[in-house]
Amino acid sequence: MLDERNRLACEIHDTLAQGFTGIVVQLEAAEDSLDDDPTAARDHLDRARRLARSSLTEARRSVQALRPQALESEDLVHAPARTADNLTAGTPTRAEVHIYGTTRPLAADTESALLRIGQEAVTNALRYAAAPNIRLALTFHPTTIALQVHDDGQGFDPAAPRRGFGLIGMRERTTRLGGTLTLTSRPGCGTTVLAEVPTRET
């Protein structure tokens, strides 16, 4: 029961919290553009509206099936790029996604967990790090798959007390799949999140 409760908490956090963060980013950008560029402000408002609708759909879907909407129509190779684009659209942050190794379909829980970890890392880079650039790398090894998310933002001290569910959720997702999660950061030097889990193919 505790494992299931933690899993549900992760899903709620990774749908609602990340969606709200994206909406806030777009609304703040709209506010900044309102006086000088009303057209750009309207574009940001349109993105915020689309994110709100998408987040509502995602929340309903999570309650029903707990599978990310992005993976309904795309696999793990393509979904991270769309997710990164949606989160960073209209912001000064540039996101890029790279795929290495021989791609192959993976078990649904593996794809879902890695996509959620990537979403959380990108959301944190946008919300806290003020990162100009975010780089996602998905590497298919023979027996494992690794997701690395690096940003060149302000960084932080990993040993300092931190509040929030994001990092806990990323660790729990990785551990549940028998993998490891490594966080590397330093004030002024950006942050790197590396999740590596065994591959379980479909």
128 close to 151: Cβ distance less than 8 angstroms? no
Q: What is the pLDDT of residues 117-157, one digit of tens each?
A: 998 899 889 888 889 999 999 999 999 999 999 999 999 98
pLDDT value at residue 7: 65
User: What distance in Å separates the CA atoms of residue 50 and residue 43, rounded to the nearest whole number?
Assistant: 11
Residue 15 gets which letter from DSSP? I
User: What distance in Å separates the CA atoms of residue 181 and residue 20, rounded to the nearest whole number?
Assistant: 25
User: What distance in Å separates the CA atoms of residue 33 and residue 31, rounded to the nearest whole number?
Assistant: 5
pLDDT value at residue 94: 93
Q: Could you count the other beta carbons within 10 Å of the beta carbon of residue 90?
A: 16
Strands 94-101 and 133-140: parallel
pTM given for the model: 0.67
pLDDT value at residue 158: 85
Domain residue ranges in the chain: 2-198
> What CATH number should be reported for the domain whose range is 2-198?
3.30.565.10
Q: With a cut of 50, which residues of the chain have pLDDT below it?
A: none
> What sections of 34-158 are H helices per DSSP?
38-64, 70-73, 79-88, 108-124
User: What distance in Å separates the CA atoms of residue 18 and residue 122, rounded to the nearest whole number?
Assistant: 9
User: What distance in Å separates the CA atoms of residue 140 and residue 199, rounded to the nearest whole number?
Assistant: 9
User: What distance in Å separates the CA atoms of residue 91 and residue 18, rounded to the nearest whole number?
Assistant: 15
pLDDT value at residue 68: 58
pLDDT value at residue 163: 57
HSE, side-chain direction, 13 A CA sphere, residue 6: 15
- Helix %, strand %, coil % for the chain, to 5? 50, 20, 30
pLDDT value at residue 147: 97
Q: What is the pLDDT of residues 107-125, one digit of tens each?
A: 888 998 899 899 889 988 9
